[in-house]
């Protein structure tokens, strides 16, 4: 027993917490009872809709670090860990090890990009945690030492999550094709874009495994779209509000497919934080916002696109055979300089997984004690 105060009311109770009194609704407390979760399947086995009457506490006491609640209409008391109440009182949400703040980056990020060897990712929890943490925080990382075979990519992806299919299937090859279905499959320059905005849910994490690159030119371009969006918010708040407030149409169309979806160019969460961007001029459909709105939307849109060409944001590097660039397709904007097709061979093999799989992988690793911050020596030990 402790001397914390418990004030039972009609629809909930006020619990005296270390940082002050906090109100908890009875439905929420009944749902938070430890017995609601099946220990084997770990799924919820209690259904609040089956209660005859709204739950109402008749007694409440604190035993050790557990709140024990007796209910008016139920014989069984509920036990709710105080640690859960403290989490909710503190931030409204349960603690999430994958809720790591984004670290915005700029043109000087190249030497700081997280690089993890393929074997460390495949064989060690810390290696996988380092990769997945970098993808959550920075949105980009490079896996080095990849085998130069087509099997290497699925092996790497599957260490994090399942491959997310797209119109191209499970995997795609970026190289010069005779009848290209996409500008990527030519030797031309590729403007800064995120992939597949015409899909209802564009894939979340992209892998580009470089199998061969001996051509002149064809440098890979990357920038942090969230950093550009935040810069726009500072430099032109009205433009930011337009791009964050309206959906515009994108497509992916060819002989055998006709994908269409509306996306916001700047994605924000309910708190207004930038969570990502969607941009692709080569897959942008005819704007269908009201024509008068376009008088202000277009200048904002063009300003944002032009910012994405500025050197202050741009990383430029040569894709090396044996490396796999992994990046958040909703945040990191990528492109390519043109190259001379006859000067050699350039072959990148790509695929996607989703952001949910990425965060799931990191949470599991964090539960196992790997957080991706160990030094090389600690990781080996």
| Cα–Cα distance, 161 to 165 (Å, whole number) | 12
| Cα–Cα distance, 139 to 103 (Å, whole number) | 8
- Least distance from Fe ion to the Cβ atom of residue 228, Å: 17
- Least distance from Fe ion to the Cβ atom of residue 142, Å: 16
CA proximity to 353, closest of 144, 186, 150, 205:
205
The nearer residue to Fe ion, 85 or 174, going by C-beta atoms, is 174
Q: Is 3 helix (H, G, I), strand (E, B) or coil?
A: coil
CA proximity to 92, closest of 322, 270, 327:
270
Question: What sign for the dihedral angle of Cα 174, 179, 183, 188?
Answer: positive
The nearer residue to Fe ion, 105 or 185, going by C-beta atoms, is 185
Token pair for 126: 């810390």
The nearer residue to Fe ion, 91 or 338, going by C-beta atoms, is 338
- Least distance from Fe ion to the Cβ atom of residue 119, Å: 27
Token pair for 79: 């036990």
CA proximity to 325, closest of 229, 205, 200:
205
Judged by CB under 5 A, which stretch of 19-27, 187-195, 289-297, 371-379 contacts Fe ion?
A: 187-195
The nearer residue to Fe ion, 195 or 267, going by C-beta atoms, is 195
The nearer residue to Fe ion, 195 or 328, going by C-beta atoms, is 195
The nearer residue to Fe ion, 5 or 281, going by C-beta atoms, is 281
Residue nearest to Fe ion (CB): 195
Judged by CB under 5 A, which stretch of 93-101, 192-200, 300-308, 336-344 contacts Fe ion?
A: 192-200
| Cα–Cα distance, 17 to 26 (Å, whole number) | 17
CA atoms within 13 A on the CB side of 267: 16
Interacting residue with Fe ion among 126, 138, 168, 195 (CB under 5 A): 195
Site string for Fe ion, 203-242 (x = CB under 5 A): ----------------------------------------
Give the N- to C-terminal CA distance of the chain in Å, as an integer.
43
Q: Which of residues 254-293 bind Fe ion (CB under 5 A)?
A: none
- Least distance from Fe ion to the Cβ atom of residue 212, Å: 18
- Least distance from Fe ion to the Cβ atom of residue 349, Å: 13
The count of chain residues that interact with Fe ion, using the rule CB under 5 A, is: 1
Judged by CB under 5 A, which stretch of 51-59, 79-87, 89-97, 189-197 contacts Fe ion?
A: 189-197
The nearer residue to Fe ion, 195 or 354, going by C-beta atoms, is 195
Q: DSSP for 128-183? A: HHHHHHHHHHTSEEEEES--SSTTHHHHHHHTT-PPBPBTTBS-EEES--SS-SSG
| Cα–Cα distance, 45 to 171 (Å, whole number) | 39
The nearer residue to Fe ion, 78 or 323, going by C-beta atoms, is 323
Residue 168 in contact with Fe ion, rule: CB under 5 A: no
> Token pair 């007694």 is at which residue?
59
- Least distance from Fe ion to the Cβ atom of residue 328, Å: 13
Q: Which residues bind Fe ion (CB under 5 A)?
A: 195
């Amino acid at each position: 027993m402790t001397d914390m105060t418990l004030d039972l009311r009609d629809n909930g109770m006020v619990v005296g917490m270390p940082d002050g009194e906090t109100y908890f609704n009875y439905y929420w407390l009944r749902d938070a009872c430890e017995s609601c979760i099946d220990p084997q399947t770990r799924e919820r086995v209690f259904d609040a809709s089956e209660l005859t009457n709204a739950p109402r506490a008749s007694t409440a006491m604190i035993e050790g670090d557990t709140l024990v609640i007796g209910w008016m209409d139920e014989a069984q008391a509920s036990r709710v860990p105080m640690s859960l109440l403290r989490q909710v009182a503190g931030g409204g949400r349960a603690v999430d090890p994958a809720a790591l703040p984004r670290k915005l980056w700029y043109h000087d990020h190249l030497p700081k990009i997280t690089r993890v060897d393929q074997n460390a990712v495949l064989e060690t929890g810390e290696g996988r945690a380092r990769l997945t943490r970098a993808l959550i925080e920075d949105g980009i990382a490079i896996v080095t030492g990849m085998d130069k075979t087509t099997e290497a990519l699925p092996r790497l992806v599957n260490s994090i999550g399942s491959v997310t299919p797209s119109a191209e299937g499970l995997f795609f090859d970026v190289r010069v094709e005779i009848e290209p279905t996409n500008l990527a499959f030519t030797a031309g320059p590729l403007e800064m874009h995120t992939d597949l905005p015409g899909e209802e849910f564009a894939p979340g994490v992209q892998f580009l495994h470089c199998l061969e690159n001996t051509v002149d030119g064809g440098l890979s371009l990357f920038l942090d779209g969230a950093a550009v969006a935040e810069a726009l918010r500072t430099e032109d708040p009205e433009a930011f509000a337009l791009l964050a407030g309206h959906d515009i149409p994108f497509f992916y169309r060819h002989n055998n497919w006709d994908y269409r979806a509306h996306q916001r160019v700047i994605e924000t969460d309910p708190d207004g934080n930038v969570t990502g961007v969607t941009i692709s001029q080569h897959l942008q459909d005819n704007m269908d916002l009201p024509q008068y709105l376009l008088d202000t939307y277009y200048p904002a849109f063009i300003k944002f696109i032009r910012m994405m060409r500025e050197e202050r944001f741009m990383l430029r590097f040569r894709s090396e055979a044996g490396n796999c660039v992994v990046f958040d397709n909703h945040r990191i904007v990528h492109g390519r300089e043109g190259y001379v097709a006859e000067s050699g061979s350039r072959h990148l093999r790509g695929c996607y997984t989703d952001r949910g799989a990425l965060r799931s992988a990191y949470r599991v690793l964090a539960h196992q004690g790997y957080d991706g911050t160990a030094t090389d020596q600690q990781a080996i030990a």
